[in-house]
Chain A
Amino acid sequence: MATLIIAEHDNSILKPATLNTVAAAVAIGGDVALLVVGEGCQAVADQAAQVAGVSKVLLADNAAYGHQLAENVAPLVAELAKTAGFDYVLAPATTTGKNLLPRVAALLDVGQLSDIVSVESADTFKRPIYAGNAIATVKSLDAIKVITVRGTAFDPVAAEGGSASIEAVTAVHDAALSRFVGEEVAKSDRPELTAARVIISGGRGMGNGENFALLEKVADKLGAAVGASRAAVDAGFVPNDMQVGQTGKIVAPELYIAVGISGAIQHLAGMKDSKVIVAINKDEEAPIFQVADYGLVADLFDAVPELEAKL
């Protein structure tokens, strides 16, 4: 058995989500190859070769792959899967993986299993449905299994210790269907939401964007990432990449502090696997208290500064 994993990276750094996906591949068993596709991404291939459990790194380095446009990358992955005899194609369930993998699956004429949280056997997996209110056990009937992996469900493999070979892939697919125009990437010194050990999130109760500074002060003391509910994003308090939930980012930190968040099903879907949940809300009936290990009924504008002072 052999698994091909699409490495998540920005042409210079291998993203941690890749390590969780390798863990899922290790659980499946067999050889694991990492595909690094991009432009000027040799450094990523070098990092990928160090990852524990990886036997081979395939490096497709070409201008056509610079922004990992699905139209160009999907035919490459489908071709590799067919010609190199891979039984599984995996990617992290990030926006990159969710954009690319279904296109690969359709080119291979197979279905896709999205967002798996466990490997039951070579062809059977568990995945959450209905915003995590049910867990389905699904068996794949296809010869090549195309799967996205929920990072929080698999402990990452070690980033170092491996010694895989690096092989260049020369095939170039340039569909000329789409072009990169620009991007606005949020710059922050804080940890990434999906990799943070502690997260403090604010909701509509924060009132405005400036008040998120209260959370940032706490985050600085705890080395935490700052997240948000959709209501806070929709109201324009903070940018979209901070949204936690069914349709935002799925997180499972050691500690999740929800401030001024009511606890809608869609928000809970993104954070209820956190180890310890704290809720600060002035409404004692708020549903967030049903999942909180520690609930504090208080006005956040009193409680949060006090919390910061006491840390």
Chain B
Amino acid sequence: MLSMRSAPAGVGLDSNAKRQNSMKVLVTVKRVLDYNVKVRVKADRSDVDLANVKMALNPFCEIAVEEAVRLKEAGVATEVIVVSIGPKAVQEQIRTALALGADRGIHIETENSPESLSVAKLLAKIVADEQPGLVILGKQAIDSDNNQTGPMLAALTGLSQGTFASEVKIEGDEALVTREVDGGLQTLGLKLPAIVTTDLRLNEPRYASLPNIMKAKKKPMEVKTPADLGVELRAHTELLGVEPPAERKGGIKVSSVAELVEKLKNEAKVI
């Protein structure tokens, strides 16, 4: 049981790579709070308090950018386009993605971060405009933990989907995607163009070098609005409030294994 382990994840090159030689890759990036930050609920319980917290690129999106850039370096992709949806501040995350190697950015400006279905509708328009061979998203955003946008985009565009990817190989007109599923690993062959969402072990993202950060400032970034794309945003949910989770009562330290076993037997009665 312990021997099963996926090969080091990466992008497979193959003889058919040339066939794809005009393939664009579209990557989505979401601005979220840094994963090290423990969020707090506002005193009035209307929402969580995001004032002055450190924001960053959603870790799964960072992996998506890395995968796209590796596809380009391997000669499989010709261009990497990065999209983010939200207020002006998300341009910071687009710049980060450009510094990591993406070629150009598209910022769809909205007041807040819209719900997953709205995000998917906006992205579907970009897919129609740009005609990418592959779209890579994070499997989930670590703020809402929704895990929805990728399959929603696949439904709206009528494309194939490979969620929770730990390996992506382009072979001919197919993407071979190894998925991390509850029972282990599953590999699917997806007809291109395809929608892929990343899991943590797909790759280890690089750090942006200072020269690349400087270069990223000169890379093109287009700004569009939902109206430009002909999308009307509609609310599907209403947030009534948030509360902190039930706190666990502090426990005790035991001084020996014997004491631990005694407590589990006689106090907690779980063994």
Interface residues of A (CB under 8 A from B): 10, 67, 69-71, 74, 94-96, 98-107, 109-115, 124, 128-142, 175-188, 194, 198, 209-210, 212, 222, 230, 233-234, 236-241, 246-247, 249, 254-255, 265-266, 272, 275-278, 284, 289-298, 303, 306-307, 310-311
B35 → A minimal CB distance (Å): 7
A18 → B minimal CB distance (Å): 13
B137 → A minimal CB distance (Å): 11
**Extra contacts besides A138-B239, A310-B261 (11): CB < 8 Å:** A69-B188, A96-B181, A102-B116, A103-B154, A106-B156, A114-B146, A114-B147, A114-B148, A136-B241, A180-B188, A186-B183
Q: Tell me if B184 and A241 are in contact (CB < 8 A).
A: yes
How many angstroms between the C-alpha atoms of A240 and B145 in the bound complex? 19
Chain B residues, CB < 8 A from A137: 239-243
Name, among B1, B41, B252, the residue most crowded by chain A CB atoms within 10 Å (CB to CB). B1
Known: A112-B116, A293-B251. A103 touches B161 (CB 8 A): yes
Chain A residues, CB < 8 A from B160: 71, 175, 177-178
A19 → B minimal CB distance (Å): 16
Chain B residues, CB < 8 A from A187: 1
How many angstroms between the C-alpha atoms of A186 and B163 in the bound complex? 19
Chain A residues, CB < 8 A from B38: 133, 265
How many angstroms between the C-alpha atoms of A297 and B39 in the bound complex? 28
Q: Which residue of B lies closest to A183 (CB)?
A: B186
Q: Tell me if A98 and B48 are in contact (CB < 8 A).
A: no
Q: Tell me if A99 and B240 are in contact (CB < 8 A).
A: no
Interface residues of B (CB under 8 A from A): 1-2, 4-6, 33, 35-36, 38-41, 48, 115-117, 120, 139-140, 142-156, 159-164, 166, 176, 179-191, 199-201, 235-245, 248, 250-254, 256-258, 260-261, 263-264, 268, 270-271
Main secondary structure of the interface of B (DSSP, over half): mixed
How many angstroms between the C-alpha atoms of A290 and B48 in the bound complex? 22
Chain A residues, CB < 8 A from B264: 255, 276, 278, 294
Chain B residues, CB < 8 A from A67: 186
Chain A residues, CB < 8 A from B148: 102, 105, 112, 114
Q: Tell me if A98 and B147 are in contact (CB < 8 A).
A: yes
How many angstroms between the C-alpha atoms of A180 and B189 in the bound complex? 6
Q: Which residue of A lies closest to B159 (CB)?
A: A177
* 13 contacts across the A-B interface (CB closer than 8 A): A71-B161, A102-B151, A176-B191, A177-B159, A183-B187, A185-B184, A186-B4, A198-B270, A239-B2, A289-B251, A290-B250, A296-B260, A306-B257
How many angstroms between the C-alpha atoms of A47 and B83 in the bound complex? 46
Quick one: which of A124, A185, A307 contacts B240, CB cutoff 8 A? A124
